[in-house]
Amino acid sequence: MRLITQRKLAGILRREAERRGAGFLPFAPSEIYIDPCNACDLRCTFCPQSNWGGRRRGLMSRELFELAIEQAVELRPQRVNLFCYGESLLHKDIAEMVRHAAGRGLWVRIHTNARSLDADKARRLIESGLSEIRFSFDTPDRELYNRLRVGGDFDAVLANIRGFIRIKQELGAVLPRVYLQEMIPFEAGKKARNSEAYRRLFEGRDVIFSARYMHNFAGASQEAGFAGLQAVGESPCREIYRRLVVTFDGKIHACCLDAEGHNIIGDLSRGDTIASAWNGGAMRDLRRRTSTHKLEGLDPCQHCDELRRNRRPVKLSRRLVGGLAWYAVKPFIKRD
């Protein structure tokens, strides 16, 4: 007999909720983004923060950060992401923030472009209790990298990443897990896989490779011409069934692709909470509209390729387990 883990069951339930286009969810977000800072030291061609006009940039205060962490602790997400719309390493207190979150028992992840990751920062981060670090090092192609990541330098960043891995080894640290993330043009029905050239760059090092499909940042990318980016078809939005974002100023964004804040579903500085926003009216409405593809006038979703990707069909056995799980939790689902 095969046993199923609690985490897998939660995943199946989540996919069932997506499939049904449920508004109210009887489970907490599996990931919470708490964005320490929405400034960045690069101006990547594909990233909305490079051209988002008048939106205010800033650093999260310690007080707001601790409030967000306390709320996250109550919801017990699989992980807390200390990044989103900016480059977290630009926050001078980032190592202390990680230490605080990890000390509260959270799995803490950072995604970084590694441009400013010198040896001192690397050591402080490793010693802070960080659980996972992901490097946005998109491609083994030096020319392409330098064109996309305006302000970045392929060789300097590669040296920073390798330096980080070396320091972790010297310290004998088990954590953070180190992920290298390559971006791959989207192909319907196929799994994203790392290229051999990419793997060779980090051969023999203690890293985990990850491949992700490129996306259009809900229409905000300046790289809409990438081959394979113009997806067709209809798919549910998976983001708003999994995660939400607390920005540096306490606003709660429904989605990590919504850098401009079209769908703000709460505000910690006004007394809202992560839990109340997760199933609040604005979030429920967004789930309903995206699942029924009623997108007219709905920014940024109407431009988002997340809703136009033909994904692999869910196996019948999974759907059956999902249906059973859904009916088991049904008595706890609020009618609205």
Residue with smaller CB distance to ligand SF4, 140 or 280 = 280
Nearest to 138 by CA among 120, 165, 158: 158
DSSP β-ladder status, 31-34 and 79-81: parallel
Give 69 or 218: the residue with its C-beta nearer to ligand SF4: 218
**Shortest spacing between CB 68 and ligand SF4, in angstroms:** 20
Please, which residue, 36 or 300, has the CB nearer to ligand SF4?
A: 300
Q: Does 240 bind ligand SF4 (CB under 6 A)?
A: yes
Tokens coding 77: 């997400």
Q: How far is the CB of 18 from ligand SF4 (least distance, A)?
A: 11
The residue within the footprint of ligand SF4, chosen from 87, 239, 249, 260 (CB under 6 A), is 239
* Count of residues engaged in binding ligand SF4, rule: CB under 6 A: 14
Q: State which residue, 112 or 216, has the beta carbon closest to ligand SF4.
A: 216
Considering only 33-41, 101-109, 180-188, 296-304, which stretch makes contact with ligand SF4 by CB under 6 A?
296-304
Rounded (5°) CA angle 203-125-208 = 25
Contact residue for ligand SF4 among 33, 306, 322, 326 (CB under 6 A): 306
CB under 6 A: which stretch of 44-52, 128-136, 224-232, 304-312 binds ligand SF4?
304-312
Tokens of 172: 């004998």
Residue of 257, 274, 277, 321 that binds ligand SF4 (CB under 6 A): 257
Sheet containing strand 243-246, strands side by side: 208-213, 177-184, 132-135, 108-112, 79-81, 31-34, 243-246, 251-253, 264-267
The piece of 25-33, 54-62, 244-252, 298-306 that touches ligand SF4 (CB under 6 A) is 298-306
In angstroms, give the least distance from the CB of 298 to ligand SF4. Answer: 8
Token pair listed for 10: 């939660």
CA dihedral 213, 216, 221, 222 (to 10 degrees): 80
Q: With respect to ligand SF4, which residue has the nearer C-beta, 201 or 298?
A: 298
Give the nearer residue to ligand SF4 in terms of CB position, either 68 or 245: 245
Of the pair 8, 294, the CB lying nearest ligand SF4 is at 294
Q: What angle do CA 65, 70, 76 make, to 5 degrees?
A: 120
**Residue from 290, 309, 321, 322 binding ligand SF4 (CB under 6 A):** 290
> H-type helices in 172-280, by residue range?
196-201, 274-278
Q: Which stretch binds ligand SF4 (CB under 6 A): 221-229, 242-250, 303-311, 328-336?
A: 303-311
Identify which of residues 22 and 301 has a Cβ nearer to ligand SF4 in the complex: 301
Among 72, 307, 321, 325, binds ligand SF4 (CB under 6 A): 307
Integer CA distances (angstroms), 81 to 4, 56, 142, 335, in order: 26, 21, 28, 31
* Number of Cα atoms under 13 Å in the Cβ half of residue 142: 6
Supply the angle between the helices 119-127 and 154-171 in degrees, to the nearest 10. Answer: 40
SS3 content of the chain, % helix, strand, coil (to 5): 40, 15, 45
For residue 304, state whether it binds ligand SF4 (rule: CB under 6 A). yes
| Neighbouring C-beta atoms of residue 221, cutoff 10 Å | 23
Residue 97 CB, shortest distance to ligand SF4, in Å, is: 25
- Separation CA 330–CA 16 (nearest Å): 12
For residue 18, state whether it binds ligand SF4 (rule: CB under 6 A).
no
Separation between Cα atoms, residue 146 and residue 138, nearest integer Å: 11
Is residue 254 a contact point for ligand SF4 (CB under 6 A)? yes
Q: What minimum distance in Å lies between the beta carbon of 291 and ligand SF4?
A: 10
Q: Compute the least distance from the CB of residue 264 to ligand SF4, in Å.
A: 12
